[in-house]
């Protein structure tokens, strides 16, 4: 049941999901106070965060984490080094940092602990079922660091919280998109097409349609989810709706590479199964997609999820369709002059 006057602690408040969640918590009448921990210098007032006390720090700092969770009814852990961090540093943030947060939440007696994992935790395996459901064990894929780390952190969460009174929610969203996904530029190694090609070439591409880029279409369907819809599911967990457990998150509908090309105004060509890697590689060249985000292997292996559990138990309904989410992301990329 929802509880009035909750104090919520959040790690990773400045990412795409983080910003969306902070807006949702600020609007919630059931949330009295938010405590947020992040590495960036942030002015809460400038962000419109009136309920938020912002702590500048790192999840590797146990004292900072302890200060964050002190007095918190709910702890939401979003901080995760997806890419850009030097090898061992990134792994330390993901594993040691997550352990610090999970352990501190249990010690502090938090009522609920909410963790955002990923569809990548299931692993990119040829023997995955056609539709992934929450009772499938997260195997990860050793060859892909992001997938492996997401599965490892889920196992770490289970080990850290076993036997505790803290109720645990785990969310596995598919590829998260939307305008806020572009706010991380500058800290992530984006491939910016506008920096690779002079303006004269762009004018030529605009004037001669046949020269527009071509995306290989391997026919594999994939899912997107808007960051605001992920935030609404997280807010439901913060309020204790539905009960703890694992929940898949995806917008209604699916996309193919052809859909992506159509909305970009580019061309697509069908490719044989052997060229699946080419299509996924092409997607990583888009300026609004982090090139090292290894969940793009979902374009190589079908990774479609059943989201009926979240709809049934959390009463969650994604407000943004998959095509709407894609178009909003592309529009923001063009507004930011990352796409022409």
Q: Are residues 192 and 238 in the same domain?
A: no
First to last CA, the chain: 48
Task: Answer for the pair 313, 243: CB distance below 8 angstroms, yes or no.
Answer: yes
Which pLDDT score, from 0 to 100, does residue 195 have? 35
Q: Are residues 307 and 213 in the same domain?
A: no
Which pLDDT score, from 0 to 100, does residue 283 have? 53
In sequence order, which residues have a C-beta less than 8 Å from that of residue 207 and are 6 or more positions away? none
Q: Are residues 53 and 86 in the same domain?
A: yes
Q: Are residues 280 and 189 in the same domain?
A: yes
Q: Are residues 116 and 192 in the same domain?
A: no
Q: Are residues 82 and 13 in the same domain?
A: yes
Q: Is the residue at 123 inside a domain?
A: yes
Which pLDDT score, from 0 to 100, does residue 336 have? 77
Q: Are residues 145 and 186 in the same domain?
A: no
Q: Is the residue at 324 inside a domain?
A: no
For residues 98 and 153, give the distance between their C-alpha atoms in angstroms, rounded to a whole number: 7
Which pLDDT score, from 0 to 100, does residue 332 have? 87
Which pLDDT score, from 0 to 100, does residue 111 have? 97
Q: Is the residue at 1 inside a domain?
A: no
Q: Is the residue at 313 inside a domain?
A: yes
Which pLDDT score, from 0 to 100, does residue 47 have? 92
Q: Is the residue at 340 inside a domain?
A: no
Q: Is the residue at 264 inside a domain?
A: yes
For residues 288 and 326, give the distance between their C-alpha atoms in angstroms, rounded to a whole number: 11
Q: Is the residue at 108 inside a domain?
A: yes
Residues counted in the chain? 340
pLDDT in tens, 234-280: 999 999 999 999 999 999 999 998 998 899 888 888 876 545 565 55
Q: Are residues 244 and 202 in the same domain?
A: no
Which pLDDT score, from 0 to 100, does residue 62 have? 97
Which pLDDT score, from 0 to 100, does residue 287 have? 55
Which pLDDT score, from 0 to 100, does residue 272 have? 66
Which pLDDT score, from 0 to 100, does residue 210 have? 59
Q: Are residues 77 and 198 in the same domain?
A: no
Q: Are residues 197 and 62 in the same domain?
A: no
Q: Which residues of the chain have pLDDT under 70?
A: 1-4, 83-88, 182-211, 272-299, 339-340
Give the CATH number for residue 166: 3.40.50.720
**For the chain, what is the domain count?**
2
Give me the domain span that covers residue 277.
180-221+254-302+329-335
Q: Is the residue at 235 inside a domain?
A: yes
Which pLDDT score, from 0 to 100, does residue 337 have? 74
3-class DSSP string for the chain: CCCCCEEEEEECCCCHHHHHHHHHHHHCCCEEEEEEEECCCCCCCCCCCCCEEEEECCCCCHHHHHHHHCCCCEEEECCCCCCCCCHHHHHHHHHHHHHHHHHHHHHCCCCEEEEECCHHHHCCCCCCCCCECCCCCCCCCCCCHHHHHHHHHHHHHHHHHCCCCCEEEEEEECEEECHHHHCCECCECCCCHHHHCCHHHHHHHHHCHHHCCEEEECCCCECEEEHHHHHHHHHHHHCCCCCCEEEEECCCCCECHHHHHHHHCCEEEECCHHHHHHHHHHHCCCCCCCCCCHHHHHHCCCCCECCHHHHHHCCCCCCCCHHHHHHHHHHHHHHCCCCC
Which pLDDT score, from 0 to 100, does residue 193 have? 31
Which pLDDT score, from 0 to 100, does residue 335 have? 84
Q: Are residues 229 and 200 in the same domain?
A: no
Q: Are residues 285 and 310 in the same domain?
A: no
């Amino acid at each position: 049941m929802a509880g009035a006057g909750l104090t919520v602690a959040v790690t990773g408040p400045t990412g795409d999901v983080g910003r969306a969640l902070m807006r949702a918590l600020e609007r919630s009448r059931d949330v009295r106070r938010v405590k947020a921990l992040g590495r960036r210098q942030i002015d809460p007032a400038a962000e419109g965060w009136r309920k938020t006390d912002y702590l500048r720090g790192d999840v590797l700092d146990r004292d900072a984490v302890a200060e964050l969770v002190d007095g918190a009814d709910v702890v939401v852990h979003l901080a995760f080094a997806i890419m850009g961090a030097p090898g061992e540093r990134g792994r330390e943030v993901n594993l040691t940092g997550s352990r610090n947060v999970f352990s501190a939440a249990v010690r502090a007696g938090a009522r609920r602990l909410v963790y955002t994992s990923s569809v990548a935790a299931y692993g990119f395996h040829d023997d995955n079922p056609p539709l992934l459901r929450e009772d499938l064990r997260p195997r990860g894929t050793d060859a892909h660091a992001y997938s492996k780390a997401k599965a490892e952190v889920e196992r770490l969460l289970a080990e850290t919280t076993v036997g505790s009174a803290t109720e645990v929610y785990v969310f596995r969203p598919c590829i998260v998109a939307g305008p806020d996904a572009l706010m991380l530029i500058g800290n992530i190694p984006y491939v910016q097409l506008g920096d690779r090609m002079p303006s004269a070439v762009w004018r030529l591409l605009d004037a001669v349609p046949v020269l527009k880029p071509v995306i290989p279409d391997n026919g594999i369907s994939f899912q997107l989810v808007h960051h605001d819809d992920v935030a609404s599911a997280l807010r439901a967990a913060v309020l204790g709706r539905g009960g703890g457990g694992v929940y898949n998150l995806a917008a209604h509908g699916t996309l193919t590479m052809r859909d992506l090309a159509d909305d970009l105004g580019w061309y697509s060509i069908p490719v044989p199964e052997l060229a699946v890697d080419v299509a996924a590689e092409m997607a990583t060249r888009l300026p609004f997609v982090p090139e090292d985000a290894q969940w793009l292997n979902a374009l190589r292996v079908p990774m479609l999820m059943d989201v009926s559990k979240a709809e049934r138990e959390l009463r969650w309904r994604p407000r943004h369709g998959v095509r709407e989410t894609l178009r909003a992301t592309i529009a923001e990329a063009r507004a930011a002059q990352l796409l022409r």
